[in-house]
Structure 1
Amino acid sequence: MEGHQGQGSHDTLALAQAHFDKGEYAEAEALYSAYIRQGACAAPVGARLGSKCIPEDLATAYNNRGQIKYLRVDFFEAMDDYTSAIEIQPNFEVPYYNRGLILYRLGYFDDALKDFKKVLDLNPGFQDAILSLKQTILDKEEKQRRNTEKNY
């Protein structure tokens, strides 16, 4: 029975990914949420890694569900999912990048900088993160310049 439950989890994740890839986000989100809720992955990080839960899969489920929320402009919910993905898989650079993009869009430049720098610590060749880091620095400097001008 246990093998079937593990296979069911894997099938749920694969089906969620297929819907995600086709742009069928409502279906994908429901399946990612079901995967996340499944008891096989509900234990604290590291507690049941020997069972059916694969941390990379769980982190991917959170990250991809976060992407769907991002596309819906549910930024804070998306950031919660990205943060969950990071907690499960701290060396997974993609959710740091995704969270950094939201932080940048919301004007939290210092926090965005931290996330983009973390991405580049993990993967120095991540070109989008290099560009995002540069743009964040420029926009932060521009914001500081405008604020300085207002005070004169």
Structure 2
Amino acid sequence: MYYYYYRNKEAVIGMIRESIAGERNDELFYDYLIKAAPTEQEKEVIRRIRDDERKHRRMFKTIYTQLTGQLPVEKQEPAEALPATYLEGLEKALLGELRAFERYRTIYLQIGPEYRDWIFEIMTDEIKHAGYFNWLYTKNK
């Protein structure tokens, strides 16, 4: 096995732990957006994004387990206040996807090469999601 010197392995593990929780929160939030979406087309787009978030969570859990030798302990975070309108929800989702991309880029730059393809896949999904949410926001503005 190839061992890589992590710049700060504990920080990477902490960011991955936060990412597991963040992907779960996004998944729950997108369930709300699916219900609020006015058309079946919009519901389907958000459904696909939500399913990607589930995939990301599984990927991060696998990475966490491989790095630590332990399963991540998932804490139930209190639910965030739901936005007053669907449009506000789309804006929140768009900004959230962009912030996630920035966090994942930091992980990508600090994690060992054996995980970079996984992080790259997650990062490109987040940018794709931002594009979809931008389209949905513009369509409903």
TM-score calculated relative to the size of structure 1:
0.34
TM-score calculated relative to the size of structure 2:
0.37
Q: Which has the higher contact order (CA 8 A, sep 6+)?
A: 2
